[in-house]
Amino acid sequence: MSKSVSDQVNQPWSGIRDHLEKLESGVLTIEEVVDTVFEKIEQLDNGINAFTSVLHERARARASFLDQADLKKDSVPLLGVPFGVKNLFDIKNHVTLAGSKINKRNVAALQDALLIRRLENCGAILVGALNMGEYAYDFTGENVHFGNCRNPWDPTRMAGGSSSGSAAAVASNMLPITLGSDTNGSIRVPASLCGIFGLKPTYGRLPRSGTYPFCDSLDHVGPLAQSCEDLAVVYDCLQGFDKADHACVSRNLEFVAKTAAGTDKSLRIGILEGYFANPQFVDANKAVSFVADALVDDGFSVERCNLEFAEAGRSAAFLITNVEGAALHESRLRSQPEDFDPDTRDRFIAGSLLPASWYIKAQKVRKLFAEEAAALFQSFDVLIAPSTPIRAPKIGQKTMAINGEEVNVRANLGYFTQPISCIGLPSLSVPISSRDRLPIGVQLVAAPWLERHCFEVGFRLQSLGLAVSKRA
């Protein structure tokens, strides 16, 4: 290991801007950046289990090419930035596992997923595929086939899921940015438990082309990062229409990295109460209160508000997920039931038994909930709610308490994210700093297509020192 690489291994990531300056000044080469990442993975991942494959040969070849190419940082805003992807993204010449044993038998992908190609077109370097819950039906990060992904803050605790490796790789400083997917909270839950930033964009904003599906009408893809700035840069690089994804909407590119950092105190902030302020979840409520108080002190207009259909919306999301997920896996449930994680299999089987009338009713509830939210956004620009009800549970913990009842952890870590997913709203989970304690996140939620509002508040909370990835 060269002295330059050795010096970098124990250094925290200092941000994309600083990285580009070091490359431009000659302090670092891209090959040294990649070697540093591989050394970190070698040192740390045995205790975290964030990676399911590491692409040494591909990444080093790409780094060598980029070092020799004459590229300007304005044209490649992610020049030499290493990243990883949840293993439901297609990687050329690799089998797309989606966290499952069954998919190991599939043929290798013929090309990279579209969002991988977009990041690489911006200069980034793919270094590996990341652990996840089986078929994305998980909030814990536990996986019986590839091992549990562990929380870098405390390896005895859950990283959250299903984008577990995507969050843990960033929180442990092995990678600065990753890609994940979010159906009911699978970016925001692990971002909250691991203390990093994670974005679920508006449904239809980013194309899912080249990813393994779960629940078509709820599936989103998005980035995770150690800072709001880095997240914004990555998000800008991911944007754009693709007709291969029927849900992707053709819109003008709406960049945020250069505009959202400005403080717009005319934004109207709503603090969600009712369902989102269950008094049982003390840590979650405190995090929201910290944010509300900070924004009031900073001069924002902050008021309390409510979404009456939130609980019904979550129930609708449950039903829709169960039915669509079960339909997707019907043949595998019949032919290979023993190869599923029993917890995943049983939830899919339950979904296959739900009557069609329930699914239709759930879609009607979804419409009513979307209409209620649209009306609320006439009065507010950003809504604030917890990301998770609790801090990271212990690995293997099966239950948690809600309203005096012991309920399943795997199904209920998405208590606050599922209603937002149900109606496809953009939501940015930001980590709320708390001294010497496990992290917990807060969601910044905006009206459809207004991700910039999420980022504007996220940038401000970071500048105030409240939203900070402390392990970065």
**Catalytic residue list:** 86, 162, 186
Is-contact 96 90, C-beta < 8 A? yes
CA nearest to 181, candidates 203, 195, 162, 155: 162
Take residue 7 and report the two structure tokens written for it.
């010096």
Determine contact, residues 211/248, Cβ cutoff 8 Å: no
Q: Exposed e or buried b for every residue in 393-429, given b needs 16+ CB within 10 A?
A: bebeeeebebeeeeeebbbbbbbbbbbbbbbbbbbbb
Structure tokens at 345: 């299999």
Backbone angles phi, psi at 296, to 5 degrees: -60, -50
Written as six digits, the tokens of 262 are 């400005």
The DSSP secondary structure of 317-378, one letter per residue, reads HHHHHHHHHHHHTHHHHHH-GGGS-HHHHHHHHHHHTS-HHHHHHHHHHHHHHHHHHHHHTT
Residue 456, token pair as written in the block: 């504007």
β pairing state of 382-386 and 440-446: antiparallel
| 427 bridge partner residues | 200, 445
Phi/psi of residue 139, nearest 5 degrees? -115, 5
In sequence order, which residues have a C-beta less than 8 Å from that of residue 4 and are 6 or more positions away?
28, 32
Whether the CB-CB separation of 104 and 332 falls below 8 Å is answered with no
Nearest to 279 by CA among 111, 134, 404: 404
CB 162 within 8 A of CB 136: yes
Is residue 405 within 8 A of residue 394, CB to CB? The reply is no
Neighbouring C-beta atoms of residue 268, cutoff 10 Å: 17
Cα separation, 184 vs 136, in Å, equals 10
Max Cα-Cα span within the chain: 65
Beta bridge partners of 215: none
Q: How far is it, in rounded angstroms, from Cα 448 to Cα 6?
A: 45
Total residue length of the chain: 472
